[in-house]
């Protein structure tokens, strides 16, 4: 199975690199070089929902900056987090441009239409604060803007081989190299805007406003079995074992949340639940604002490394996050971790961590040798027992 997975991964990587190469030559015909510019700042943020949670507070900082308060602020983002951005951040953004990542990567006509729309803005400044840049998406969008100033992090090679990172370096007028020793993603975002705005920003952690939801009455635990990659998904049978324990000992109803793509995972959990356990399958049935409200009012969240974890980090909800150890310190654990956040790693990673504390972030920058399903249900239950006493 491991050999098969590696072969598939290698084939997909070859296809990705070939697509990058084709677009490098084809994209130039989709837009033109601008010679005049409008007082517009274009901000490009096209990665995942969790990344947006760790970024969004800086839109308000940019909007309130005295030097740029008279600029029109246009935000180009991944349509996956449109629901959050247009509900929570429309006060700070004058115009949104939403992109479908898959279509932008694979559909020539769609790619051309988005690039022409971005180019037609005639933005004076384009900001692309993503640290792990993506040649096909964020870098190419920045280039298509043809802005007077195009600024990004120098970044790493988590998403592309060095050739394409090197090529896309030439798309920018300025690349920030400062803060390479910083690890946590929120702090990297903060540094980016401190360098651009030339001022210190006092935000210590990401935050979300309280989303009211007066309909929630019963105590419940949220299970979030999905993740952006399969290698980060804990076995649904283990989720079920924990659910059985939680209801038996604490009486919490179980709410399974996620996208419609997580329905199969939810079905597997439900098939293993004890017959008397009250549950609600909400996969694909809530938008992001509703999910935030559910997490903010939950008694417990059990989640893989996902957007739900970052929402909970902003919400004070008691949370247990299951992690394989990759990107240690970048997305988790949070620096000076809030008391509501707890983390469970495979035993092999715990041992690896103890032996390599000083260099752990560097050693896990791209990979972890530990597997998520090395984590036992008993280990998770032992951690939950630290939160609550039996009813």
Q: 220-385 has which CATH code?
A: 3.40.50.2000
Of residues 12 and 382, more confidence is placed in: 382
Q: What is the mean pLDDT of residues 128-144?
A: 96
* Domain locations along the chain: 29-197, 220-385
Residue 310 has pLDDT above 70, yes or no: yes
For 54-78, letters b (16+ CB in 10 Å) and e give: bbbbbbebbbebeebeebbbbbbbb
The pLDDT score that the predictor gives to residue 52 is 97
Residue 51 has pLDDT above 50, yes or no: yes
The pLDDT score that the predictor gives to residue 211 is 87
Residue 10 has pLDDT above 70, yes or no: no
Residue 391 has pLDDT above 70, yes or no: no
The pLDDT score that the predictor gives to residue 143 is 97
CA distance 157 to 229: 18
The pLDDT score that the predictor gives to residue 217 is 66
For residue 75, report the phi and psi dihedrals to the nearest 5 degrees. Answer: -115, 125
Does domain 29-197 sit in CATH 3.40.50.720? Answer: no
Sign of the torsion angle spanned by Cα atoms 149, 156, 99, 227: negative
Q: Would 29-197 and 220-385 be classified into the same CATH topology? A: yes
The residues, any chain, with a CB within 8 Å of residue 326's CB and separated by 6 or more, are: 364, 366, 367, 368
Q: pLDDT > 70: what percent of the chain? A: 95
The pLDDT score that the predictor gives to residue 355 is 96
Confidence label for 9 from pLDDT (cuts 50, 70 and 90) = low
């Amino acid at each position: 199975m491991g050999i098969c997975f590696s072969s598939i991964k290698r084939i997909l990587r070859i296809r990705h690199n070939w697509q990058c190469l084709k677009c490098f030559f084809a994209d130039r015909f989709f837009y033109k070089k601008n010679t005049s510019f409008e007082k517009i700042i274009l901000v490009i943020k096209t990665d995942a929902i969790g990344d947006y949670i760790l970024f969004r507070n800086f839109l308000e900082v940019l909007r309130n900056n005295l030097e740029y308060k008279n600029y029109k602020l246009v935000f180009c983002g991944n349509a996956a987090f449109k629901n959050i951005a247009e509900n929570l951040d429309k006060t700070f953004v004058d115009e949104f441009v939403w992109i479908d990542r898959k279509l932008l990567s694979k559909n020539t006509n769609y790619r051309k239409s988005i690039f022409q729309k971005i180019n037609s803005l005639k933005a004076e400044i384009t900001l692309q604060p993503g640290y792990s840049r993506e040649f096909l998406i964020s870098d190419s969008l920045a280039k298509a803007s043809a802005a007077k100033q195009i600024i990004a992090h120098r970044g790493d090679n988590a998403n592309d081989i060095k050739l394409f990172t090197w090529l896309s370096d030439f798309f920018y007028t300025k690349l920030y190299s400062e803060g390479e020793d910083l690890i946590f993603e929120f702090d990297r975002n903060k540094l980016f805007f401190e360098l651009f705005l030339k001022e210190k920003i006092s935000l210590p952690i990401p935050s979300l406003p309280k989303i009211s939801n007066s309909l929630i009455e019963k105590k419940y635990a949220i299970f979030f079995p999905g993740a952006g990659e399969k290698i980060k998904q804990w076995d649904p049978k283990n989720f079920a074992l924990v659910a059985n324990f939680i209801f038996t000992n604490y009486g919490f109803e179980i709410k399974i949340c996620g996208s419609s793509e997580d329905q199969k995972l939810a079905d597997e959990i439900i098939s293993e639940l004890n017959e008397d356990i009250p549950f609600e399958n909400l996969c694909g049935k809530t938008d992001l604002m509703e999910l935030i409200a559910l997490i903010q009012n939950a008694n417990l969240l059990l989640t893989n490394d996902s957007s739900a974890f970052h929402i909970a980090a902003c919400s004070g909800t008691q949370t247990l996050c299951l992690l394989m150890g990759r990107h240690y310190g970048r997305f988790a654990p949070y620096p000076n971790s809030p008391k509501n956040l707890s983390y469970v790693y495979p035993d092999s990673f715990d041992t690896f961590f103890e032996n390599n504390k000083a260099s752990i972030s560097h050693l896990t920058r791209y990979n972890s040798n530990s597997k998520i399903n090395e984590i036992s249900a008993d280990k998770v239950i032992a951690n939950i027992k630290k939160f609550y006493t039996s009813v």
